[in-house]
Amino acid sequence: MKSHKLLMIPGPIEFDPAVLAAMSVPTSSHTDAAFIQTFGEALEKMRQVFQSSQGQPFVVAASGTFAMDVAAANLIEAGDRVLLLNIGYFSERFGEILERYGAKVTQIKAAIGARPDPQLVEDELKKGGYKAIFFSHVDTSTGVLNDVPTLAQLAHRYGALCVVDGVCSIAAEELRMDEWGVDVALTASQKAIGVPPGLALWMVSQRALEVCRTRKTPVANYYGDWLKWLPVMQAHEARQFDYFATPAINLIRALNVSLSQIVAEGIENRYARHRRMSHAFKAAMNALELDQIPVSEEIAAHTLTAVRYPKGIQASEFLPRVAQEGVIISGGLLPPIKQEYFRVGHMGNISFGDLIGTISAIERALAGLGYRFAIGSAVAAAQRALQEAA
């Protein structure tokens, strides 16, 4: 039995004991040979997780928002035209960041729970003059999954860079960075990467690095300047020391442990496991006759599920009830519908047992608030889905 409430939000997630143990080791010098080895190993494993042998990995002490920030800071100069594909709260954030760095942002905004029609994207790109397209792989506020390969292909067809916010996707949703032609993919440690908050991770194509190198104006974000960090990452991957700012030593140790676990599981197996967990959880919510924010299962993320409350159930009553059952889940985030739905994360090292326990807690909370359904139907639906996928 867990000694704490089960954390089933869309990040931070539950962390493996071996990952937490790595953080408890006494902190070494950042010039220590053993740490340089660890850092280098982690950078190499990032290539496997992002599926990019050609890209340049970066690991910096910061948040996922910082990774979004520096993607804009390094690629955008005042007046650059960019296309933003908006599927929720974090898409809106990306737009604000881009405008801070002087970008002229055109948005294609999908209806709530939908994603942009590729034809509309192509029609806009055909107009020419776009430096890049920016979009979230999964928007954590809506649980919508974008079609990365199609969008990346369109970007390259019309000479634009492809920048993907993968904070709630990388290491769980399928991403083939080199094969698909993604130029920047970014994430944060506390999601499917499986490390406590504090690390921003991103991979940059050689094409995007060249855009950064040949820009006319200095990068406005000093700490986030890719070219300041680039020699550090290259040196550590070569098992040598270089310095720009002190790395998060204990978190990077934990990162190497978690990436080792991901690589050992096998990235294809990991994708498949997340699809099975997602299918099982969504089957459970369907059994309870609860609608979801994504308009179809085809475009629903596998890392979380965004579920509408049944009529008469309020967030202020439901979320504490679930917590009383030993499970923490999240409320809504997208402002227009914030009070209409809840979110459950199922990514990283979450087990099928954790998933079933969460579904059971949701059942008990709903029953306690007077929602009428066949007790056990959601758990049974999830079990059937898991059995069918075995």
Residues 190 and 254 in one domain: yes
Residues 261 and 274 in one domain: no
Run of H or E including 184: strand 184-188
Q: CB–CB of 304/346 below 8 Å?
A: yes
42-86 tens-digit pLDDT: 999 999 999 999 999 999 999 999 999 999 999 999 999 999 999
| pTM attached to this predicted model | 0.97
Per-residue pLDDT band for 389 (boundaries 50, 70, 90) equals: confident
CATH assignment of the domain containing 42? 3.40.640.10
Q: Which of 220, 245, 265 is the last residue of a domain?
A: 265
142-196 tens-digit pLDDT: 999 999 999 999 999 999 999 999 999 999 999 999 999 999 999 999 999 999 9
Give bridge partners of residue 203 from the DSSP assignment. Answer: 57, 185
Look at residue 378 and tell me if it is in a domain: yes
> What residue type is 273 in one-letter code?
R
Look at residue 1 and tell me if it is in a domain: no
DSSP state of 201: E
**pLDDT of 3 over the 80 cut:** no
Residues 63 and 100 in one domain: yes
Q: What is the pLDDT of residue 2?
A: 58
Residues 365 and 249 in one domain: no
- How high does pLDDT run on average in the chain? 97
Give the range of the structural domain holding residue 242, as residue numbers without chain letter: 17-265
Q: Left if phi > 0, otherwise alpha if psi is -120 to 50, otherwise beta: which for 350?
A: beta
Instruction: Report how many domains make up the chain.
Output: 2
Measuring CA to CA, which residue among 293, 347, 41, 44 is closest to residue 170?
347
Measuring CA to CA, which residue among 160, 133, 159 is closest to residue 147?
133
**pLDDT of 237 over the 80 cut:** yes
C-alpha to C-alpha distance for 277 and 272, rounded to whole angstroms: 9
Q: CB–CB of 46/201 below 8 Å?
A: yes
Measuring CA to CA, which residue among 72, 47, 175 is closest to residue 133?
72
Q: What is the pLDDT of residue 1?
A: 44
Residues 259 and 380 in one domain: no
Q: Which of 238, 265, 292 is the last residue of a domain?
A: 265
Residue given tokens 């494993």 in the structure block: 45
C-alpha to C-alpha distance for 180 and 153, rounded to whole angstroms: 7
Residues 287 and 363 in one domain: yes
